[in-house]
Amino acid sequence: MSVTHQAVSVTHQKKAVTLKELVSRRDKLTEETGHYYGIKELKLKNSDPVKYERFYSRLHAAVLAAREVARYVTASPGSREMGESLWTLTTPEGDTLVISLGFFSHLNSSRVAIRFMAENNYDENPGIYDGDVFVTDDGKTGGAPHPGDTYTYVPIVVEGEIVGWAMAVNHIMEAGAPVAGSWPGFAVDTFMDGFVVPPMKTGENLRQFTWWEQLWKTRTRAGTLNNLDDKMRLAGCAMIHKAVHEIIEEFGLDYYKQVIREIIEESRLQILQNIRTLMVPGRYTSVAFRAVKYKGLQKLWSHADKDSLIHIRQRLEVDENGGLIADFEGTSRWGYHAFNGYPGGADVAFYLAMINQFAHNTKPTGAITYVAKAHYPEGSIYNPENSFASFSNIWAQSMAMNALGFNAINRALFARGYLEEAFTADSNWEGIQGAGVLEDGTPYGFTNFESVGGVAMGAFSYRDGLPLAWAEWTQLPNIGNAEEFEYLIPPLYYIGRKLLPNFCGHGKYRGGIGDSSVHWIKNPGKRLGISRGGSQVAATTFVALGMSGAYPAPSAFHVSARGTNSNELVEQGVALPRDASEVLELSEKGILKAENLDVWKFDMPEQSFQDGDMLADAAGAAGGWGDPIERDPRSVLEDVLYGWVDQKFAEGLYGVVLKENASGSLAVDDGATQSLRKKMIEERRQMAKPVIEWWKNERELVVKRDFIDPVRDMYESSMSFQAFQNEMTNFWQL
């Protein structure tokens, strides 16, 4: 497709409004009036609603078509099979007008990238022309959560003025860092994050420059797949670019420039109304933790040779008018590890819950960013005061941050009586990543996205959660086909892929069961190294939350078996393990033998794997709702019969005694169950203590600072922020 190369630069268009002026005008009018762009009345919508809706539907159809076509033209398995992508159309200033299916919360990143280009006078140097191509994956300047998320921007210029941007983002297959994969788990600073670029011009006339394609090949281990994704993003943007030009020809430029402002203001007003309808005004305080185990991993960077506990502190406040702000003061300071982030990327996580819950009945636009806001104190893990902090895996802890906001909203929904909408929100995703060299000398890198594609849904107040049925970062949960990942990662074969018994948050209604896969390494070639990326580790819960007395979900773990006798077992006709628990069970029985058998409750650093080795993962469990001993005994029996819960769990956790009938089938022993549950309640009473007694005992630990080093460091970090220091000293009367 050829395009007219229209410049915005004042050098080429004397009357053109600069990008900086456009952004400044938007900011000024919005701040002064309290309405987006100063729009106090939806004149176009009210005067001709049919035309207004027809215009919006044309825009929306363009981005939907871009996604459905582009990912089948050229894409990696992660983007094609699982939809790890998004296309949008924005205003000239970067506010999202319409979005496709997919990574919808990325609609905020464009505001960061476009503002950066405006403030740095991109329309003068390098110039912004119709059909140019810009790419970024930087957290500070481009709003990317982590380098694995790469954005393409195509400006749409009419009569010398930018009227919008076609944007696409997808999760690439390999980021080019020292640790191979999409989420480098060990990084001391941003110089170890991989192939990171600020917004930069990489092509023109809807074509990428040749040098850009070569950079993907030389700076990442999955250059071919990353180039496929780069072409996919641009193909979709080209479709949007063409459609917008046609829409402007049909509706007129003046109408277009005015109606795009009204669309966002209309959405903003509806979101405000939704918050007033669904929330209870007040403050919702919640907390989560994320363990980082770097001690002893390396000897080069002594300042990073430590274990850390990240403290995520959220105070979400809702006012009577429907305004909402999440304050993260008290969250840990940034550190020399891979789990920091910048405000734009943190917002991508924060807006997941906000869009899910408050934009359900309106046009999904960037209006959410003008209603729900977040405060990330400078110096915190979400807002380092420099540009050198690593952000390669902010997603590992910002998903917990988002879950805190999600659950705050769900508590409000429950309080308002919206029972069918309120559930325990977890988002414990998992990822296997690495690099290798095939027998013929071909190097490659990879990421397995299956446990990012879907996780279990948490329990509701009236029913159990469902496995693999939800992912808070996409409307289309899908773990993908095993065959896709087997050809993507040649040495890894699936010998098991199933739900893991007992792996859930237990309660009156239990959370969805998490899943587990076992990979068998065959013919790894000259070298194969594998590490893990993921949102949480089994050292702590994902979020410290089980609703109304239920248990929280267990977090992810790995089991690696290296130097095994698996090849001999296959020759003998012995079945290999199908999930992480079976790997351990067969090992305990002496059937599966391994020179190195490791259970990873922290991030598994890169390990070398050989022929016959195994790697099992377990993730995606969700929290429960209600006290487990209030669960219907028939539901417990059904779980045992289906294999979701062991009989020992049924008795020890749920207080349900099962017996065999004459036919040999299991049934509930009602009398024994009632007796056992009464006994369990009495034991709880005996163990319980008054709150004041608990408070005094805990206060002694606080006064003595009787903590392990990571916990002591965590408190020191969080108390460097005044709000949390005041909260701690007041609560413990220090």
pLDDT in tens, 196-232: 999 999 999 999 999 999 999 999 999 999 999 999 9
Query: What is the rounded average pLDDT of the residues 50-71?
Result: 97
Asked whether the predicted pLDDT for residue 110 surpasses 60, the reply is: yes
Q: How is residue 116 written in tokens? A: 């950066």
Contacts of 231 (CB under 8 A, 6+ apart): 73, 74, 208
| pLDDT tens digits, 342-360 | 999 999 999 999 998 999 8
Asked if residues 530 and 606 have their Cβ atoms less than 8 Å apart, the reply is yes
The conformation of residue 550, written as its DSSP 8-state character, comes to: P
Distances in Å between the Cα of 59 and the Cα atoms of 151, 267, 337, 382 are 20, 15, 42, 34
Report how far residue 404's alpha carbon sits from residue 290's, in angstroms, rounded to the nearest whole number: 13
For the chain, give the mean pLDDT: 94
What is the Cα 632 distance to its own chain's centre?
34
CB 432 within 8 A of CB 615: yes
pLDDT above 80 for 333: yes
Q: Kindly state the percentage of the chain with pLDDT values over 70.
A: 98
* CA 19 vs CA 109, 116, 140, 200, 271: distances in Å: 17, 10, 19, 15, 28
Instruction: Compute the distance between CA of residue 701 and CA of residue 150 in angstroms, rounded to an integer.
Output: 46
State the pLDDT at residue 453. 85
> What per-residue confidence (pLDDT) applies to 535?
87
Lowest mean pLDDT among 13-22, 44-53, 544-553, 556-565: 13-22
* Tokens coding 137: 């994956």
What average pLDDT does range 243-262 have in this prediction? 98
Structure tokens at 387: 């540009």
Q: What mean pLDDT do residues 358-371 have?
A: 94
Residue 41 pLDDT: 97
pLDDT of the residue at 3: 55
Most distant CA atoms of the chain, gap in Å: 93
Region 631-637 average pLDDT: 98
What residue type is assigned to position 320 of the chain? E
Section 105-112 average pLDDT: 93
305-319 average pLDDT score: 96
pLDDT digits (tens, 9 = 90+) for 384-437: 999 999 999 999 999 999 999 999 999 999 999 999 999 999 888 888 999 999
SS3 percent helix, strand, coil of the chain, rounded to 5, is 40, 20, 40
Q: Is the pLDDT of residue 2 over 60?
A: no
Angle between helices 109-119 and 343-358 (to 10 degrees): 140
To the nearest whole percent, how much of the chain has pLDDT over 90? 87
Whether the pLDDT of residue 50 is over 90: the answer is yes
Separation between Cα atoms, residue 256 and residue 163, nearest integer Å: 8
580 residue type, one letter: A
Q: Give 15's pLDDT tier (boundaries 50, 70, 90).
A: low
Nearest to 376 by CA among 361, 391, 365: 391
C-alpha dist (Å) from residue 72 to 62, 236, 241: 16, 10, 19
In this prediction, residues 254-272 reach a mean pLDDT of 97
pLDDT of res. 11: 37
Q: How confident is the model at residue 105 (pLDDT cuts 50, 70, 90)?
A: confident
The pLDDT of residue 8: 53
Domain ranges (residues) in the chain: 19-26+59-250, 423-626, 629-687, 691-732
Q: Kindly tell me the burial class for residue 291, based on how many C-beta atoms sit within 10 Å of its own C-beta (0-12, 13-18, 19 or more).
A: buried
Question: 6: pLDDT confidence band, cut at 50, 70 and 90?
Answer: low
| 443-495 confidence digits (pLDDT tens) | 999 999 888 888 999 999 999 999 998 988 888 888 888 888 888 888 999 99
pLDDT value at 12 more than 50 = no
- Determine the average pLDDT of the residues in 330-348: 96
pLDDT digits (tens, 9 = 90+) for 585-598: 999 999 999 999 99
Q: What confidence score (pLDDT) does residue 7 get?
A: 54
* pLDDT tens digits for range 635-661: 999 999 999 999 999 999 999 999 999
The pair phi, psi for residue 337, each rounded to 5°, is -150, 180
Q: How far apart are CA 514 and CA 466, in angstroms?
A: 9
Over residues 502-512, the mean pLDDT reads: 96
Give the model's pLDDT for residue 78: 78
In angstroms, rounded to a whole number, what is the distance separating the alpha carbons of residues 493 and 612? 11
pLDDT of residue 136 exceeding 60, the answer is: yes
Residue 468's contacts (CB-CB under 8 Å, 6 or more residues apart) are 454, 455, 456, 477, 479, 512, 515, 620
Q: The whole model's pTM is what?
A: 0.94
Residue 717 vs residues 312, 332, 539: alpha-carbon distances, Å: 11, 5, 20
Q: Which residues of 688-698 are buried (b: 16+ CB within 10 A; e: fewer)?
A: eeeeeeeeeee
User: What whole-number distance in Å separates Cα of residue 572 and Cα of residue 555?
Assistant: 35
Of the candidate ranges 28-32, 71-75, 512-516, 715-719, the one whose mean pLDDT is the lowest: 71-75
DSSP string, 16-28: PPPHHHHHHHHHH
pLDDT at 10: 38
Q: Report CA dihedral (176, 136, 168, 428) to the nearest 10 degrees.
A: 50
Residue 490 DSSP class: T
Q: How far is Cα 71 from Cα 102, in angstroms, rounded to an integer?
A: 12
CA distance 720 to 330: 8
Residue 419 zone, left/alpha/beta (φ > 0; ψ -120 to 50; rest): alpha
- pLDDT at 142 (0 to 100): 97
